[in-house]
Amino acid sequence: MTLEDLRGRAIYIESYGCTYNHADTRRLEAILEGLGCTLTGPDDAEAVIVNTCTVIDATERKMLRRLAVFADRDLYVTGCMPLVQMERIRSVCTPHLIHPDEIHERSGTVGTPGAGAIGVVQVASGCLGRCSYCITRLARGRLKSASAGEILDAVRGLAASGAYEIQLTGQDVAAWGLDRGESLPDLLQAITGVPGRFAVRLGMMHPASVLGILDPLIDACAGEKVFRFLHLPVQSGSDTVLERMQRGYSAADVIRIVDAFRERYPEMMISSDFITGFPGETEEEFRETLGLLERAAFVKVNITRYSRRPGTPAAAFKDLPERIRKDRSRILLAEANRIYDRYNERWIGREIPVVATEKNAPGSTICRSPCYLNVVVREDLPFGFSGRAVITENRRHYVVGELIPDGAGHKV
């Protein structure tokens, strides 16, 4: 079956996973609307679509529970899970498949609107990595970059529609263009030349890919149209664990990247991902990971307890006890929280420029600073409002700011 079979029907969609996956959902919604479909709630739907994620075991179990809920409906699945685990899906339901490639082929743009004043541009799918634990690379395949022209057209369209924050997303944004003989720094330079008032937020970038473009990438981040933000998933601070993970870099390489960016941009926000309890991880290897977190002072850290993924090389390794994985996760999180607080406290009392990008609750607005600091202002501000705020409180995962009354705030 194809998307044409859904023409004119009432559709309910559930979406899970990363920014890239949610952008696929937005593209799918646009395609369905073009087919005369109506997007509705689950009770009124003639068909249900679930855009799945299967990055870790807990997510897989959640997907199976959600699919079981809709097992007696006219059910369609898309996303990563059916590409690598269709038999697991069929153990709870018998859905139709919407291949992500069909969504991309039928969609006219790689750019999609997000929440508030946010736009998302899918610059590439797949990666060049060979990480031993990763099921996503099996689902998404090798790197396939969108053309610079497609990306620039998407940025122009999003900026013209009022998007201030434009997120570049992919499984490895730093690898963009390597399959086309091009590079991310050149793309960034071209994007910053697009007319309009916006700033680019770079998505997840594999450290091994960053190493190959480090100096030009640092230069490309100099413009006002690029947030001083870096998402650098390092996964471990132990070289021996990194070798078992087949990540292709060392802990020293990570420090080199972090130090180089912070030397140029001292207040840059650098986030990361870690996996605790990878098979064979010793106490000393975990302490090396804790040491890297402390040394790099990553702000915003996603910590995941290792879980075996079918079809990956690491699935053949012996798992550590869940108790050890959980304890190490808690220790790493406690240190990460100390780093968050230390980073946020440095902003208290300072006056910084902010732009309103999202809403989180009535009477407040999420704003971003040039280094992507999450600033909550307790006022209803229109998207795109820009002004200056004094930071008054640290709430760990965000700070609170008060607008300066006589600032030159305006809506664009």
- Two structure tokens written together for 114: 């997000």
3-state SS record for 285-330:
HHHHHHHHHHHHCCCCEEEEECCCCCCCHHHHCCCCCHHHHHHHHH
Cα→Cα distances 36→15, 31, 49, 74, 168, Å: 21, 9, 16, 18, 30
In whole angstroms, give the CA distance from residue 246 to residue 80: 22
Fill in the amino acid letter for 252: A
Provide the CATH topology of domain 3-103: Rossmann fold (3.40.50)
* CATH number for region 351-403: 2.40.50.140
What is the tens place of the pLDDT at every residue in 269-295? Answer: 999 999 999 999 999 999 999 999 999
Residue 360 pLDDT: 83
Helix (H) or strand (E) holding 34: helix 19-34
Mean pLDDT of 137-143: 95
So what's the pLDDT on residue 412? 36
Q: What is the CA radius of gyration of the chain?
A: 22
From the list 376, 378, 374, 403, the residue with the least C-alpha distance to 388 is: 403
Residue 134, token pair as written in the block? 């990763």
Q: Where are the alpha helices (DSSP H) in 85-198?
A: 86-90, 100-106, 136-140, 148-160, 184-192
**What digits encode the pLDDT tens for the residues 331-361?**
999 999 999 999 999 999 999 999 999 998 8
State pLDDT tens for residues 79-104: 999 999 999 999 999 999 999 999 99
pTM over 0.85: yes
Q: Residue 232 pLDDT > 50, yes or no?
A: yes
pLDDT-derived band at 407 (thresholds 50, 70, 90) equals very low
Helical (H) or strand (E) element with 211: helix 207-211
Domain residue spans of the chain = 3-103, 110-345, 351-403
pLDDT of residue 349: 97
The rounded distance, in Å, linking the Cα atoms of 202 and 121 is 10
- Give the CATH superfamily of 110-345: tm_1862 like domain (3.80.30.20)
